[in-house]
Chain A
């Protein structure tokens, strides 16, 4: 099982649609989870952290299911500006140090 696995993309949705991204991770000892956003040919930027109780930031909702080792991101009322690649990020261990592992990302294309 890959360390961090995401839905393959791209997701093509019309403006105003609700879209959900899924992510699974293999390291049951992982403690920190994030969703990053990456625009084309740009650097990734933190979208939101994911907390055990679930958390919401405006139109964005993140959920964590530790038992299933599953993370989700829900975007409501999609905007054209939401078009980007969404990266699922999980902490893991590397030579005794904790580092972040990135999924390959899921591309979202929002059309008028």
Chain B
């Protein structure tokens, strides 16, 4: 079955540690995205990538980094520079290379808690 797989689903981290969230898709989608959701808030775009080896900052990129070495994979690193990293992180992909013109398919999310 095609879909998006995020791991881990739950993650606990100590302050000052970097953590990498995995996102893999087998939908053959060009575009991939990372969103962050806080309680009672909408999804906010962290980074997105339309093609391999290219990515763009979203609205809240500070303290995060990404890579897109393969079409299927778009890992997100939450660095120690991110001041408030506890959140629900959602990875998504879309069919066309032009995001915003098609449906987003989401993974099940990764819930990060900083202790």
Residues of A in contact with B (beta carbons under 8 Å apart): 4, 31-32, 34, 41-46, 49, 87, 91-92, 94-95, 97-105
Residues of B in contact with A (beta carbons under 8 Å apart): 33, 35, 40-45, 48, 50, 56-59, 88, 90, 98-104, 106-109
Q: Is the interface of A mostly helix, strand, loop or mixed?
A: strand
Query: Which residue on A lies nearest to B50, using beta carbons?
Result: A97
| Cβ–Cβ contact B43 & A44, under 8 A | yes
In whole angstroms, how far apart are the Cα atoms of A92 and B44 in the complex?
13
In the complex, which residues of chain B have a beta carbon less than 8 angstroms from the beta carbon of A43? 90, 106-109
In the complex, which residues of chain B have a beta carbon less than 8 angstroms from the beta carbon of A4? 42
In whole angstroms, how far apart are the Cα atoms of A103 and B37 in the complex?
11
| Cβ–Cβ contact A99 & B42, under 8 A | no
In the complex, which residues of chain B have a beta carbon less than 8 angstroms from the beta carbon of A97? 48, 50, 56, 98-100
**Contact partner, A95, options B40, B57, B103, Cβ 8 Å:** B57
The smallest beta-carbon distance between B88 and chain A, in angstroms, is 8
